Structure 1
Amino acid sequence: MLDVGLKELDAVLAVARCGTFRAAAIDLDVSTTALSHTIARLEAGLGVRLFNRTTRSVSLTDAGRLFVGTVGPSVQDLRNALGTVQAHRETPTGTLRINAAPFAARAIMQPLVIAFLTQYPDMHVDLVTEGRMVDIVRDGFDLGVRLASLVPSDMIAVPLGDVQRHAVVATAAFLERHGTPQVPTDLLRQPCIRIRLPDGSLFRWRFEKDGQQVLIDVSGPLSLDDASLVRSAVFNGMGVGYFIEADIIDDINAGRLVRVLEDWTPSSAGLCLYYPGRRNLSAGMRAFLDLARTFARQAPGPRPAAE
């Protein structure tokens, strides 16, 4: 199959437009010899002459007129398409697809997503939440948002600020019936809501105090893979729950849930945006990353290492 690129098409159109190889060469900023060779290679590949040449003039053959009449509009359409794509690099427009864990999506919604759309009204954000880890490249996402410890090693990470805390909670009525745990091992004698991780394994509750780390394989009547379902189960007195603090901090502050083992509850790595590469980022992507870095600098508390 003949391999014809935009360079060859531009060469034919320039000669047809300018009327001479010399004028077309000046128009294309190439040498007359290079232009002549480009046209000759194309004609050889097509097996037909596109131009009649004499020492004094150049004119299109019948095949050349057919070629220019057919190719000319298509080349213009191609240039328009390239210009449209280039505009995405210069002006934030189009769609930004983000995959995030549910709690991570809640954390970035107001300070990043809404702030971004307010600043760039021509952008659209498609935010997809799911607990399982996905390959953002394979599944067509521009960005992912996860805990720093879960970001794949081949991705570029942008830390989003302070570390995450966990919270262990139950209802006051539940604690009246079962007692308030004083140390993590007390949970082994109480019903707890087990957490199923995206890979299918059951999460062992992690505690830490004074350098001592404890992992507890709790038991209970339910195993769930969604924080909102765990919250519902805890509210209905089914057991003790282990949460990202941000998911239930309003319930704690309002007295709807009682926090236990707070002195044993560790912090974990903070959230990160991540994406596959630095080259040829769209204007929308660059603007969102810039906003994320500004947000991270303003966030209180310790931050993960910079990207």
Structure 2
Amino acid sequence: MKQNFTVRQGALDGVEVFLSVAEHRSFRGAAAQLGVTPSAVSQAVRVLEARIGATLFIRTTRSVGLTEAGERFLARAKPAFEELVAASEVARGLGERPSGLLRLSVPRAVVPILLEPLIASFCKAYPDVEVEVATSKELIDLATEGFDAGVRLGQFVAADMVAVPLSAPFRFVVVGSPAYFAARGRPGQLDDLREHACIRWRRSSGALALWSFNNNGQPVEIAVAGPFIASDFPSMLGAAIEGIGLAQLPEPMAAEGLRSGKLAQVLEPYAPTIPGVFLYYPSRRQIMPKLRAFIDHVKSRTARSSASDS
């Protein structure tokens, strides 16, 4: 069943004219302020009075005054109209320059690696934009949850989203601690994983993720077993450093542990390469300036990083 509008269509028509006449106590003065003819002002007031069902002005040849209905209408309409104008100015400001609250949904793992330096430089460049980062392992509906954009691994970005790369493609590597390898040895083939303790990752759907590999150009997925299950990569990384078992992690996340010697890599020939991490947002023609500025900032930093690596 179709509902009626609380405010009738055209209910605001003539209100600005009424307020101007009430301020100047003159139809000519209102016409001069609004840049229209006195007859146009008079017509707008007559239409407003007819729609309301009450006379708002007392007109004489020498003066214009407010009726009781006009006084009451003025008392309520003026602050409401001023609020409406102020709201329009705020909305216009958000549509004209980068400002306001930029909400991003991201996995916790990418915050220290990618987002912290990126957001720090963005906040310096655009001080009128407030950046809110909400960490979540779940793939949420950006529009429903009120987010401007999200960050995810490329394979998890939906096809109907616009995706902007935040990183170059990287490998998923299998790592373990020196203490673990001293006790259990090193796997040399994929089949050797059956004899090893593996740290598993539970997806937001509840399913345990398979380990993915590249075997002579062919993708292979293996169900592994082990004593520890985590729901995010940082927990898996910590467990691997503590020697609980082997972990398959994004190479950038494991890089510091590999450099420091806290971790060592195995099964290198089988490490698969994934597209990388992407900023994604709904495809739409009109993008708010705050998001456009962030997208341009991401592209600029990515281009500089690619140039320095080449």
TM class, shorter-length:
0.7 to 0.9
* Structure 1 position 101 matched with structure 2 position 107: yes
Selected match of 2:145 from 136, 139, 149: 139
After superposition, the CA RMSD in angstroms is: 2.7
Count of residue pairs brought into register by the alignment: 301
Which amino acid in the other structure matches residue 190 of structure 2? P
Selected match of 2:237 from 231, 235, 250: 231
Distance, in Å, in 2 between the alignment partners of 1:230 and 1:285 is: 32
- For the 8 Å contact 2:142–2:150, the answer to whether it is kept is yes
Selected match of 2:132 from 121, 126, 135: 126
Q: Pick closer, same or farther for the CA change 1:6–1:236 going to 2, 3 Å.
A: same
Normalising by the residue count of structure 2, what TM-score does the alignment of the two structures yield? 0.85
* Structure 1 position 247 matched with structure 2 position 253: yes
Q: Pick closer, same or farther for the CA change 1:16–1:119 going to 2, 3 Å.
A: same
- The residue correspondences of 1:2-13 to structure 2 (distance < 5 A) are 3=8, 5-13=11-19
* Structure 1 position 218 matched with structure 2 position 224: yes
SS at match of 1:300: helix
Q: Pick closer, same or farther for the CA change 1:225–1:126 going to 2, 3 Å.
A: same
* Structure 1 position 68 matched with structure 2 position 74: yes
Which amino acid in the other structure matches residue 188 of structure 1? R
Distance, in Å, in 2 between the alignment partners of 1:26 and 1:277 is: 45
Selected match of 1:296 from 295, 299, 302: 302
Which amino acid in the other structure matches residue 232 of structure 2? D
- For the 8 Å contact 1:171–1:235, the answer to whether it is kept is yes
The equivalent residue for 2:289 is 283
5+ long unaligned stretches in structure 1: 302-307
Selected match of 2:187 from 181, 191, 216: 181
- For the 8 Å contact 1:2–1:45, the answer to whether it is kept is no
Distance, in Å, in 1 between the alignment partners of 2:294 and 2:241 is: 37
Selected match of 1:162 from 168, 175, 183: 168
Q: Pick closer, same or farther for the CA change 1:24–1:143 going to 2, 3 Å.
A: same
Normalising by the residue count of structure 1, what TM-score does the alignment of the two structures yield? 0.86
SS at match of 1:138: helix
Q: C-alpha displacement at 1:277, in angstroms?
A: 4.8
Distance, in Å, in 2 between the alignment partners of 1:32 and 1:290 is: 50
Distance, in Å, in 2 between the alignment partners of 1:211 and 1:172 is: 29
The equivalent residue for 1:89 is 95
Distance, in Å, in 1 between the alignment partners of 2:257 and 2:105 is: 27
Q: Pick closer, same or farther for the CA change 1:293–1:67 going to 2, 3 Å.
A: same
Q: C-alpha displacement at 1:54, in angstroms?
A: 6.3
Q: Pick closer, same or farther for the CA change 1:43–1:153 going to 2, 3 Å.
A: farther
The equivalent residue for 1:305 is none
- For the 8 Å contact 2:109–2:232, the answer to whether it is kept is no
SS at match of 2:90: helix
SS at match of 2:145: coil
Percent identity, please.
35
Which amino acid in the other structure matches residue 167 of structure 1? V
Distance, in Å, in 1 between the alignment partners of 2:223 and 2:38 is: 78
SS at match of 2:137: coil
SS at match of 1:181: coil
Q: Pick closer, same or farther for the CA change 1:128–1:185 going to 2, 3 Å.
A: same
When structure 1 is superposed on structure 2, of 183-192 and 60-69 the one drifting more is 60-69
- For the 8 Å contact 2:13–2:48, the answer to whether it is kept is no
Q: Pick closer, same or farther for the CA change 1:154–1:40 going to 2, 3 Å.
A: farther
Which amino acid in the other structure matches residue 16 of structure 1? A
5+ long unaligned stretches in structure 2: 1-5
SS at match of 1:228: helix
- The residue correspondences of 1:144-155 to structure 2 (distance < 5 A) are 144-155=150-161
Distance, in Å, in 2 between the alignment partners of 1:60 and 1:279 is: 47
Q: C-alpha displacement at 1:69, in angstroms?
A: 3.6
Distance, in Å, in 2 between the alignment partners of 1:161 and 1:244 is: 12
Q: Pick closer, same or farther for the CA change 1:40–1:107 going to 2, 3 Å.
A: farther
When structure 1 is superposed on structure 2, of 219-228 and 71-80 the one drifting more is 71-80
SS at match of 1:206: strand
Q: Pick closer, same or farther for the CA change 1:217–1:18 going to 2, 3 Å.
A: same
| Deviation digits for residues 83-128 of structure 1 (CA, Å, limit 9, x no counterpart) | 2332233343332211101223233323321111122233322111
